[in-house]
Structure 1
Amino acid sequence: MRDTRESRLLLVLLIAIAFALITVDIRKAEQSPMDSARHVAASAFGPVENGVSAAVDPVGNSIAAVRDSGVRHDRISRLEAENAKLKQRLGSSDRHRARSQELDRLLKTAGAGGYGLKGAQVIGIGSAQGFSWTVTIDAGTKDGLARDMTVINGDGLVGRVTTVSSSTATVLLANDPDFSVGTRMEKSSELGFATGRGGDAMTVQLLNGKANVKKGDRIVTFGSRNNKPFVPGVPVGTVSKVDRTAGDLTRSVNVRPFVSFSKLDIVGVVVQPPRTDPRDDVLRAKKPPKPKPAPTVTVTKTPKPDASESRS
């Protein structure tokens, strides 16, 4: 179609007619002259629209499902991350609580024995000195530590310091076969020497072969001159077995240490010995183990038969 004057006039006329129809349709919304045209268009294009909608809806629903699945996945991931953080926080709280309790026991032991301590933490197990039972602690000469100082924890004797650097120290544990300490029996005051046997076991050689000793008796350190290498009164362990061999000048007993050497964490190095021998004061301050409850036995009585029934 050429761009002539007549064509431009026709275009303007069509636009004017369109605006007029729109105006009439808006003003007479209830009964619009366009209603019949709308119905015709709806009848013609309705099936096509429904078909397109039916084809497009599954796609739209799938997209929405994927979107909702992604939202749920993000929410689940966020909740899992929050739970992990909470568990980590609770685990950390449990560790802090356990260390706090361990420190409380250590301070109670130090107070009962009159020991001046330097607290330390175990930072390494074993050493380059062969197969010795040793640990490394995070305190050294700058903290006042020196060779042959006694090391304890809240349960009792841990060992003694063997080597010291400026910031760390090596401790020979009491269960090491090369370890030896003078001991004294609770109450009877029988003297002896304890040596390590590895694991959670020690042996005490009593000087008196006829010493009256029994299973369950407790032992503490005897101490030595100038309190080196051991201070007196530190709990060592309980007698677990007595050698009944007669005729020997000495008597050997097996001892279960109070300290669990595989679970060491917070320890204390005795940098100031007690003014007087605490004797059994530290043992008395220790809580005895709770006895296991006796098993409950239920006895059911069988009723005797009636005399009249027996006669019949």
Structure 2
Amino acid sequence: MDSAAIGRFEASRGRLASLAYRLLGSATDAEDAVQDTFLRWQAADRERIDVPEAWLTKVLTNLCLDRLRSAQARHERAAGAWLPEPLLEGDPMLGPADTFEQRESVSLAVLTLMERLSPVERAVYVLREAFAYSHAEIAGILGITESASQQHVHRARIHVAAERRRGAETDPASARRIVEEFLAAAASGRTERLVAMLTDDVTAVSDGAGLARRLLRYTTRERVASYVRAGFKPTPAKRRLAGGSPAFHIALVNGSPAVLAVIDDRVVGAVAFDISDGKVASLYGIAAAERLTRLSGAWRQYEPDAPVITAW
């Protein structure tokens, strides 16, 4: 392959990776999909490709759909043990973040909700909301009619909006203050204060440090507060499981505030928060090592603020 063809692909690599991540919810799978797209670009008769960007987008999107439809993916995701892979602020795979829709489409809350959409609905929603493709372009990418594209995105928007139930977007500084207060209450054991900081319909989801066969789900303010209090309470068993005593930092993950547990520049746990109208609407706890590899790598290049908890 000549350097010009490689250059054309590399110019699209970042956009392709952020599209694949939104479709698959996994940085590792997204990188594999981008590499498979490159191999097809390498083998293609490129002289017959009029618009390389459109061709690459179509190939990548359909490769991602194949992955979502695969028996293995259906089993893993249907088994209820899957959460999106969190990405640290500044990760290029997060892609465009100029509009509310773009930021929303990469949040852990929406990535989790999109698991309930069909693969085609998910693809149409991402292409339309995050990348502003027209329905005519989406129809060409997915091999459907424009009318079908409109119907798919309409259904996806309704589903996401109905499940999301959130208020106005919270600015990062305010969200950080809420998480700092929440973490202080959790560390002190003041369960009543935790309850007061939760929305009436709060939910919490955890992968159980990767040890549970299914996701652990909690509803009601009292149950979520108890889960959080127990989760942040230090014990010798937790230190052994984590490999030491972590420091806790607050950072942005997928555009939302998160508490990261860090040992020797390695992220061993992440709790991401969804804030609505000044309260915590949902929490996502991720500690499975394979879901934190990219986050840990980014953390080693990151300049974090001082930890909010230094000894645990």
TM-score, scaled to structure 2: 0.24
Q: Which has the larger radius of gyration?
A: 1
Higher RCO, 1 or 2 (CA under 8 Å, sep at least 6)?
Answer: 2
TM-score, scaled to structure 1: 0.24
Structure with more of its chain in strand, by fraction? 1
